[in-house]
Amino acid sequence: MRVAIAGGGLAGLACAKYLVDAGHTPIVLESRDVLGGLVAAWKDEEGDWYETGLHAFFGAYPNMLQLFKELGIEDRLQWKQHTLIFNQPDKSGRLSRFDVPDIPAPFNVIMSILRNNDLLTWKQKIRFAIGLLPAVVRGQKYVEDMDKYTMTEWLRRQGVDEGVNTDIFIAASKALTFINPDEVSSTILLTALNRFLQERYGSKIAFLDGSPTERLCQPIADYITERGGEVRLNAPIKEIVLNPDRSVQHFLIRGEQQTEALTADAYVSAMSVDIVKLLLPEVWKSIPFFQKLEGLEGVPVINLHLWFDRKLTDVDHLLFSRSDLLSVYADMSNTCREYANPERSMLELVLAPAKDWIGRSDADIIAATMKELEWLFPQHLSGDNPAKLLKYKVVKTPRSVYTATPGRQNYRPDQVTPIANFYLSGSYTMQRYLGSMEGAVLSGKLTAQAIASANLPADAAAPDLTPRSLPLSPSTTNAATA
């Protein structure tokens, strides 16, 4: 069966990968000249990489880790020490660590919290543990029900001290969703916490050993093309053209000279939700399934790269800045093999929330960032001989992952739509891993599974659903069953 997939981000690529495994012929159509979507990266004039986002992989990403294994590229994940590292806003340049011991979950995470005395007092820890009990005992159903509250509201309802919010959840919320706890649905952070509490290595972090485009997306594309599929760049979908019965007749691709009609047996949109809404055919707009997409919208975020003339730190890990302007950051010259430099630091930082900054000039953004960095690296950026900023790159994404405010779970669509030959993929679609790389890969896998098990048109090939050809781990179930 030929399957046309619009979008060459992780969801579209994963969908195509699992379709070729099932014996089908996917054609991935990516609008840009680079694969990866929100994980896309480019090289500057001097050959240095810059990326759409600083990306961390977690131990609690079973589908992503399985994909690495299936592609034979597991060695490209550089696993870091099992610890979470936070800056301390009241102690310039000082770090605080939650070292997770190698004992079974949830005792490892509990122990890491109990042993950290920089951030939380004992009273705060005890109140927090009691507040968290319903999530641990009643599981994902309870967590989903909490989608009506922001994280701040949930913490207040559970009687958790405001200090826990300031010390932990502002940083966690900005890192996972690019918005603050007074805006984010508590379901998001409770889901992440639950995974960390249930899996021994769930909160362990890895960095890719190079750019996601080359080191992750390209091997998926090669896998697809070596098995008869196609991956096309510079192939933007201009229109979804319908049959009289409202099913898809073809994707119309905008070419440089002329348009091209691409026909297939099934069609997938793996484009971001903001683009899908723009391309929805008029007659689909009255269908409640598609109307719900109006409740979802991408959140702005900015990714920064700063190259310095010297080493600012030797920390080989992700750090939570806990600054107002910034979210997580890493010195990529330590964390990533291909970006390694023993002499000079390259800081990659996420600026979030970014709604007040997305329209500002790069120079303004860098000036504000440098001020925050003086606080994070006082020994190198203040004083008589501060480190010199050699160059920088600012990558703005006005609409990234869906904005995870309360109530959004109800708007996230299934991969199967009411249109028989049209499917959705993307980290915004309903799956248990929210707007993440794991969510994107899982959504692609779920879409491939749905297509492979659908009733096919009479002239299409029979699907091969053996576990060998379409490996779907038990963890590929949807949120509702998790």
CA nearest neighbour of 143 among 436, 433, 476: 433
Near ligand FAD in 249-308, by CB under 6 A: 270-272, 275, 301, 303
Helix (H/G/I), strand (E/B), else coil: 456: coil
Q: How far apart, in Å, are the Cα atoms of 193 and each of 54, 158, 210?
A: 21, 15, 28
Determine the interface stretch with ligand FAD among 70-78, 101-109, 308-316, 395-403 (rule: CB under 6 A): 395-403
> Cβ distance 173 to 397 under 8 Å?
no
E strands, 161-318, are 205-208, 230-232, 237-242, 248-254, 259-262, 266-269, 301-308
Near ligand FAD in 62-121, by CB under 6 A: none
Nearer to ligand FAD, 54 or 65 (CB): 54
Nearer to ligand FAD, 152 or 415 (CB): 415
| Identified binder of ligand FAD from the candidate list 373, 426, 431, 447, rule CB under 6 A | 426
Binding mask 321-360 for ligand FAD (x = CB under 6 A): -----------------------------x----------
Determine the interface stretch with ligand FAD among 54-62, 224-232, 353-361, 472-480 (rule: CB under 6 A): 54-62
| Identified binder of ligand FAD from the candidate list 409, 436, 447, 476, rule CB under 6 A | 436
Helix (H/G/I), strand (E/B), else coil: 83: strand
d(CA 304, CA 365): 9
CA nearest neighbour of 173 among 161, 191, 157: 191
| Identified binder of ligand FAD from the candidate list 109, 208, 237, 376, rule CB under 6 A | 237
Structure tokens given for 245: 């019965």
Q: How far is the CB of 464 from ligand FAD (least distance, A)?
A: 25
Nearer to ligand FAD, 149 or 196 (CB): 196
Q: Which residue has the tokens 């900023």?
A: 389
d(CA 339, CA 361): 26
Neighbours of 107 (CB within 10 A): 13
169: DSSP letter: I
d(CA 90, CA 84): 18
Nearer to ligand FAD, 56 or 373 (CB): 56
| Identified binder of ligand FAD from the candidate list 1, 56, 197, 293, rule CB under 6 A | 56
The reply on whether position 437 binds ligand FAD by CB under 6 A is yes
Find the helix or strand (DSSP H, E) in which 58 lies. Answer: strand 57-58
CA nearest neighbour of 419 among 292, 261, 283: 283
Q: How far is the CB of 446 from ligand FAD (least distance, A)?
A: 12
Binding mask 19-38 for ligand FAD (x = CB under 6 A): ----------xxxx----xx
Nearer to ligand FAD, 53 or 229 (CB): 53
Burial class (CB in 10 A: 0-12, 13-18, 19+), 181: buried
Q: How far is the CB of 250 from ligand FAD (least distance, A)?
A: 14
Nearer to ligand FAD, 105 or 206 (CB): 206
Neighbours of 282 (CB within 10 A): 7
Nearer to ligand FAD, 227 or 238 (CB): 238
Nearer to ligand FAD, 160 or 448 (CB): 448
Sites of contact with ligand FAD (CB under 6 A): 6-12, 29-32, 37-39, 52-56, 236-237, 270-272, 275, 301, 303, 350, 397, 400-401, 426-427, 435-440
